[in-house]
Amino acid sequence: MYQLVIFDFDGTLFDTYDAIEHSIQLTFQRLLPSHPPPSSSDIRPLVSTGAPPGDTFRSLHPDPTTFDESLWIPTYRKLYALHGQSRSSPYPAARDVLQALHARNQPMAIISNKAAVAVKAALEKTDLLQYFPDSLILGYGVTGVQRKPDPSSFTDVLWPNWKALGAPEEVDAGRVLMVGDTLTDILYARNIGAQVCWCRYGQGDVEECQRLQPDYIAETLEDVLKIVEGRS
């Protein structure tokens, strides 16, 4: 049994690509109306890396030297909350997988580069919030959390939070499983010394993720359950 299973959110538990793309295009329409919004072919390669929104917008902006992250990212997050949430949904097996892991008393957490409030809102809307302690849902906006693949969100925030809930005194990183769909998740797992399950069905760049040789590959979310249970 793993001490802890850490899930990414976008492209792992929830299919959010349409929501992200639509919200990016709305942000360009709002803040740069004189310039055509980026196309799907421009956006998808950037989203596939798991990079934070600031990096994505800077890459898409026609003049990165004038890009103001303090304006663009709050606008994007506001538009995502208004127009994107309805375009995202959990993968069909998400409820069954989380319920099965919960029934096994498997401790679970979420670490995302997405805003934590957006993650919690999506989970609450779909009645999946019940499977994760509030303090083990980490993302942008949570004090002390740096974006993946920086390992400090695990060492400085997640582990102390979990210890406060009764976790073992010592962590065996080899018994932690990171489940995610992009190279950022794989690199994060490597940085914290965890095993990693790459979700091929998600939004990540297939060639880049395979090159990093993840410990496990999940073709579907159901495969994650098999991996945790030792059936794969």
Quote the pLDDT of residue 204: 96
Q: Cα separations (Å) of 21 from 46, 170, 209?
A: 11, 41, 21
> What pLDDT, on a 0 to 100 scale, did the predictor assign at position 232?
66
The domain 16-84 having CATH identifier 1.10.150: the answer here is: yes
**CATH code 3.40.50.720 for 4-15+89-229:** no
What does the domain layout of the chain look like in residue ranges?
4-15+89-229, 16-84
Confidence (pLDDT) at 171: 80
pLDDT lower than 70: segments of the chain: 232
pLDDT (tens digit per residue) in 36-52: 999 999 999 999 998 88
Q: In this structure, are residues 137 and 130 in contact, taking their beta carbons and an 8 Å threshold? A: no
What is residue 231's predicted lDDT score, i.e. its pLDDT?
Answer: 74
Please tell me the pTM assigned to this model: 0.94
pLDDT at 113: 93
d(CA 188, CA 184): 6
pLDDT digits (tens, 9 = 90+) for 164-208: 998 887 888 899 999 999 999 999 999 999 999 999 999 999 999
Instruction: State the sign of the Cα–Cα–Cα–Cα dihedral 114, 116, 121, 122.
Output: positive
pLDDT at 52: 86
Q: What distance in Å separates the CA atoms of residue 2 and residue 19, rounded to the nearest whole number? A: 32
The pLDDT score that the predictor gives to residue 212 is 97
